[in-house]
A and B are shown apart, each in its own frame.
Chain A
Amino acid sequence: MRWAAWTIARRELKSLFVSPIAYVILGIFALISGIHFLASLETFDKILKNAKMQAQFSQNTEIFSQINLNEMLVAQVVSFTFFLFLFTLPGITMGSLSEEKKQGTYELLFTSPISSWDIILGKLMACFGFFFLIVASQIVFLTVIFKFGNPEIGPVVASYTGLALCALVMVAVGIFTSSLTSNQIIAYFTAVFILLILLMIGWAAKIVPGNLATFFEAASIQTHFEGFTKGIVSVSSLVYFFTVSLLFLAGTQISIDSLTRR
């Protein structure tokens, strides 16, 4: 780990927790995903009861094999978290570089013997560290699932890996938009906009013809994420997540270097 990047990351994380933003986002997350988890649990319970009744009625237990805890509960939780991330992670990244510009502290950073990649990696580590905190708040759900059921461990790990990779892309996009402006609100909405495009391009794939559809589908973040939630870890998806993140981080580097190379 590079030392200067670590210095930047530590300061950024600390300042996130001094401002109310980190608590607000953690709070929203815990509340909304908690309600969602309860609802999903309730639905799953209903399905299970129905299946039991049907099995008793028809003396046939085959129906249970169609009920999959992983697909019906774990995938639900993870997909919902993904959608929450679209709107909350930009809230974490929005101030990362725009605040430095607004406060004039970027003059300190750029006249210190560190590279612009140190700054970018530091910001990335801090915001990505926040992702782990959010996931940590979901340990409760996983405990419940593992205690009262026996899901396959593979897909659960794959789902959370997929979520982490999506978070990486989202954080990279957020840091990029934050580097473009000194206004946090603009950084937030631009990030949400770009992320929605990355998501909706997959929906557009259903209405455009031929090759374009294939391209749109491959460009959509949802396509790659869904593979992970089913427990499929494909190389092409890994390549997708890393290239898209790298693309936006490289954009960030160009953007912050242009500040000093005018």
Chain B
Amino acid sequence: MIKAQNLTKSYGPFQALTNLSFEIQKGEIVGFLGVNGAGKTTTMRILTGFYQPTSGDAWIAGHSVLKNPMGVKKSIGYLPETPPVYPEMTVETYLKFVLELKRIKANDQKKLLDWSLEKCGLTDRRRSVIGNLSKGFRQRVGLAQAIVHKPPVIILDEPTVGLDPVQIIEIRKLIKEFAGEHTVLLSTHILSEVMATCQRAIIVHRGKITHEQKIQDMNQRKSLEELFLEVITKDEAALISEAQRRAV
């Protein structure tokens, strides 16, 4: 469903991604794990057709992000780091606007709207102005926006950041419900999040994939936490020793 091949992205002299390749099957929920600045958001922006890769290509539901970005945009729902909401709109009018942007036929709009409101627990807030909602509810509106058109692929950039523990559990439960029908890629720097929601984890560090494993396998061999720390500290250690070598 999602396939990335040798994705490379540089912003001027800074290389954000280096030869990133991975594949995600239909119905899977995959966690994209990495420290801040590891390249998670850049990868997601390329997958959604927002950025163009410097080299390499990615396919979403068979559409290439380079050759057919419109096809890609039709098959995805995307929640960026900050929910892309208009504070002056009500929840309902906002989601209707999103449905029109996604080119959903007028006949199907009402059903999808009600469905997404219910899924995200927003039914009794449908007439609230988004600017007056709490951060948690605004995040839910962002999530509703990503799923409202029932896209085959859902991409979520740090979906639980800034939420309280109860909200985090609710959102995680919601994401889990998407398994099977939708393919979900979510990014986070919280280890337990991946453990709780995902079937597979991809660890990125400094724009490279350093590890990829099923969550079940991890528990048997090494815990995800150990792996993550190992990857990062190994890299730091290498950097420090290199710096020392240069100094000498």
Contact = CB atoms under 8 A, between A and B. Distances in A.
B87 A103 contact: yes
B11 A113 contact: no
A3 B11 CA distance: 35
Contacts of B50: 107, 110-111, 260
A104 B88 contact: no
Interface residues of B, number: 28
A239 interface: no
B97 interface: yes
Given A260-B51, A262-B51, A15 B88 contact: yes
B229 interface: no
Contacts of B88: 15, 18-19
Contacts, number: 69
B142 to A, nearest CB: 9
B101 A108 contact: yes
Given A104-B80, A104-B84, A108-B84, A113 B89 contact: no
Interface stretch (B22-30, B69-77, B183-191, B219-227): B69-77
The interface residues of chain B, by DSSP majority, are classed as loop
Contacts of A11: 86, 89, 97
Interface string B78-104: 101111111111000000011011110
A113 B102 contact: yes
A112 interface: yes
Contacts of A113: 70, 73-74, 101-103
B43 interface: no
25 contacts: A3-B100, A4-B101, A7-B97, A7-B101, A11-B97, A104-B82, A104-B83, A104-B84, A105-B84, A106-B84, A107-B78, A108-B80, A108-B101, A108-B145, A110-B49, A110-B50, A111-B48, A113-B73, A113-B102, A113-B103, A114-B103, A260-B50, A260-B51, A260-B52, A262-B11
Given A7-B100, A103-B84, A105-B85, 14 more contacts: A3-B100, A4-B100, A7-B97, A11-B86, A103-B86, A104-B83, A106-B84, A107-B50, A108-B80, A108-B98, A111-B48, A111-B49, A112-B98, A114-B103
Q: When A and B form their complex, which 5 residue pairs have the shortest distance between CB atoms, in order from nearest?
A: A108-B84, A112-B101, A18-B88, A104-B82, A113-B73
Interface of B: 11, 48-52, 70, 73-74, 76, 78, 80-89, 97-98, 100-103, 145
